[in-house]
Structure 1
Amino acid sequence: MTEQNKSQNQSIYRASFVKPVVVGAGIALLVISFFVFGVDNPHPEWGKFWQVRPLIITPLAGAIGGAFYSFLDYQSSRGFNRTVAILLSIVVYLIGLWLGIVLGLAGTMWD
């Protein structure tokens, strides 16, 4: 009976891990799309596929921020202060999103 309960608890934690990761990546994709698709006349030295890099790097940074939120949410269920966990998660997500935008746009729009 305990083996079944352990496997059910693991699937609950996995499902609660995936949702913040996907939400974090989705928000980051929306933010970087605003910048990338807002360019009407890109500089020719940027290359033909200059949009690919920011559209990959920034959502990855957002997904990592979502994973950090999920980790701190798990830690808050184990006794860590929930308010501190949420505030720290927001700060880490915003810093990670900013760094993802900088890394994605380096050499093109971010000079």
Structure 2
Amino acid sequence: MAAIDTAQRNQSGPLGKRILQGAGVGLIIVSTFLLQTGEPDPTWNKYWVLRPLLVMTFAGAMSGVFYYLMGNMRSKGGWHTVLANVLSFVVFAIGMWMGMVLGFAGTYWH
């Protein structure tokens, strides 16, 4: 039981909070992109916009999970903290890129 308590103390915050933060950032990014678009192609499904919204939000949430999991490494201090933050950013950037590609495949990007 003590190992669980120690692991929970080393985390950077509640998991749910990190998931919501990551999902929120993903949602803001995709919403900004979608608001700048013009009229969609009439051959696309009426609900085509749901796919990029859901995929990007999910990708952001998974990036938040990764950030949470790096909390133990981050709590060690020094270069461990820097490495954990850099890895978290790289995973977030790759996740957002993959979310954009998967979300917009078949509509804007064919």
Name the TM-score class by shorter chain: 0.7 to 0.9
Q: Provide the aligned C-alpha RMSD in A.
A: 2.5
Structure 1 pair 12/76, CA: closer, same or farther in 2 (3 Å)?
Answer: closer
Distance 2:91 2:42 in 1: 35
TM score, norm. by length of structure 1: 0.81
- 2:54 matches 1:53: no
TM score, norm. by length of structure 2: 0.82
* TM superposition outliers: structure 1 runs of 4+ over 2 Å: 9-16, 37-40, 74-80
- 2:73 matches 1:75: yes
- Unaligned runs of at least 5 residues, structure 1: none
Alpha-carbon deviation of 1:87?
0.4
The match for 2:62 is 64
Q: How does 1:87-106 map to 2 (within 5 A)?
A: 87-106=86-105
Instruction: Write the letter of the residue equivalent to 1:104.
Output: G
Task: Report how many aligned residue pairs link the two structures.
Answer: 106
Provide the identity percentage.
38
- Unaligned runs of at least 5 residues, structure 2: none
Distance 2:74 2:8 in 1: 17
